[in-house]
């Protein structure tokens, strides 16, 4: 019988497993706190448990399933990319970005991606499979342990790595609940951000969660023809319907929504496009994150230069739309936005 991944169990499921083994309920809390508070790396390290029970758990459960395969560091030592391999041979990448005042993890939710955005390396590689909640959580704990060794800790988590989080909604939300659990890792919901290409039913479902987790929507174009060429998902969820769903999200949650805009030279970075975007977003509680497109092998478009990015930003600012240009990180190791492709 295959072993069960402990990180794939929420606290209630873990309690049920422990009770089924004939142990008292408090043993489950000991296991939970050892994993998420003490951050043990092996079941044998849970010394609060009797040795016999540790052996039984070790025989039936796994604590770590992701095999670190390749670690790559940027030339400025501010970004690190980790390639993991799952037991069934699927690949995924996780990125750690170091800043003066924070340490951000970019987490993958799928191996590959089915959305097919033409400028995204993950979309270019196609879809392999969804990651389990345990595999999502394990990426975080892996880097939490690494950072603790150098006196740092994870301060922000963005679900912007490989995959479309809302295409794997249930497992992603389960992972978030585990990470947010006050009796365990206790990671603040407001320090997590989910990014989606714009799957309308899941945006509306997420609004009903009344979660404090931040929401970012990848936009990149202001009309259906242009957006559908870049992002096939637009054919199913047209831009005006998407923005209506975003307004409903804000009305329901009273939380600001972020829009991601990859600036592509002479495609979506001109002043006229910026003015149209300002009209689309007028009156919406939002913030626009601009990022100069990062290069990928199968897309010929180039990222806008700094001047064009600044001009685009100024048009939005004059229209009263909150906007910023995101700092680019890890480009030299293909760890920037849209560059993850689980290649060795």
Per-residue pLDDT reduced to its tens digit, 130-169 = 999 999 999 999 999 999 999 999 999 999 999 999 999 9
As a whole number, mean pLDDT of residues 106-133 equals 89
Per-residue pLDDT reduced to its tens digit, 41-77 = 999 999 999 999 999 999 999 999 999 999 998 888 8
Domains by residue range for the chain, with CATH: 4-62 (1.10.150.530), 67-333 (3.20.20.70)
216, containing H or E segment: strand 214-218
Per-residue pLDDT, 124: 75
Give the 3-state secondary structure of residue 4: strand
As a whole number, mean pLDDT of residues 274-303 equals 88
Question: Are 121 and 341 contacting, i.e. CB atoms less than 8 angstroms apart?
Answer: yes
Per-residue pLDDT, 126: 84
Task: Return all residues near 177 (Cβ < 8 A) that are at least 6 apart.
Answer: 10
Residue recorded with tokens 């459960």 = 61
Question: Are 103 and 146 contacting, i.e. CB atoms less than 8 angstroms apart?
Answer: no
Per-residue pLDDT reduced to its tens digit, 173-197 = 999 999 999 999 999 999 999 999 9
Q: What's the CA gap between 48 and 11, in Å, rounded?
A: 18
As a whole number, mean pLDDT of residues 19-27 equals 95
pLDDT at 300 over 90: no
Query: In sequence order, what are the beta bridge partners of 80?
Result: 73, 96
Query: Quick one: what percent of the chain has pLDDT higher than 70?
Result: 93
Per-residue pLDDT, 340: 46
Task: Return all residues near 69 (Cβ < 8 A) that are at least 6 apart.
Answer: 83, 84, 85, 91, 344
Query: Quick one: what percent of the chain has pLDDT higher than 90?
Result: 82
Angle, to 10 degrees, between the axis of helix 169-180 and the axis of helix 133-148? 40
Per-residue pLDDT, 121: 76
pLDDT at 118 over 60: yes
pLDDT at 332 over 70: no
Per-residue pLDDT, 335: 46
Per-residue pLDDT, 341: 54
Catalytic residues: 93, 337
**pLDDT confidence band for 1 (50 / 70 / 90):** low
HEC profile for 250-296? HHHHCCCEEEEEEEECCCCCCHHHHHHHHHHHCCCCEEEEEEECCCE
């Amino acid at each position: 019988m295959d072993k069960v991944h402990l990180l794939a169990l929420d606290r209630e499921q873990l309690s049920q497993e422990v009770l089924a083994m004939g142990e008292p309920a408090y043993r489950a809390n000991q296991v939970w706190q050892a994993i998420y508070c003490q951050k043990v790396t092996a079941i044998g390290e849970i010394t609060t448990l009797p040795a016999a029970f540790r052996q039984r758990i070790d025989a039936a459960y796994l604590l770590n399933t992701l095999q670190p395969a390749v670690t790559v560091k940027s030339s400025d030592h501010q970004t690190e990319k980790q390639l993991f391999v799952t037991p069934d041979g699927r690949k995924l990448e996780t990125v750690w970005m170091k800043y003066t005042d924070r340490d951000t993890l970019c987490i993958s939710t799928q191996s590959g991606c089915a959305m097919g955005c033409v400028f995204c390396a993950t979309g270019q590689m196609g879809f392999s499979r969804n990651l389990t909640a345990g595999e999502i959580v394990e990426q975080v704990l892996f880097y939490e342990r690494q950072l603790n060794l150098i006196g740092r800790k994870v301060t922000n988590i963005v679900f912007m790595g490989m995959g479309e989080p809302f295409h794997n909604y249930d497992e992603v939300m389960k992972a978030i609940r585990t990470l947010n659990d006050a009796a365990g890792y206790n990671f603040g919901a407001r320090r997590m951000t989910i990014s989606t290409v714009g799957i309308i039913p899941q945006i509306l479902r997420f609004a009903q969660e009344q979660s404090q987790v931040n929401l970012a929507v990848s936009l990149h174009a202001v009309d259906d023809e242009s957006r559908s060429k870049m992002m096939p998902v637009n054919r199913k969820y047209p831009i005006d319907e998407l923005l209506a769903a975003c307004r409903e999200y804000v009305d329901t949650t009273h939380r600001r929504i972020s829009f991601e805009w990859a600036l592509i030279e002479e495609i979506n970075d001109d002043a006229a496009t910026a003015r149209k975007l300002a009209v689309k977003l007028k009156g919406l509680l939002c913030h626009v994150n601009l990022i100069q497109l990062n290069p990928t092998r199968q897309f010929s478009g180039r990222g806008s230069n700094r001047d064009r990015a600044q001009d685009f930003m100024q048009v939005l600012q004059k229209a009263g739309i909150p906007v910023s240009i995101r700092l680019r990180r890890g480009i030299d190791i293909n760890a920037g936005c849209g560059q993850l492709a689980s290649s060795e």
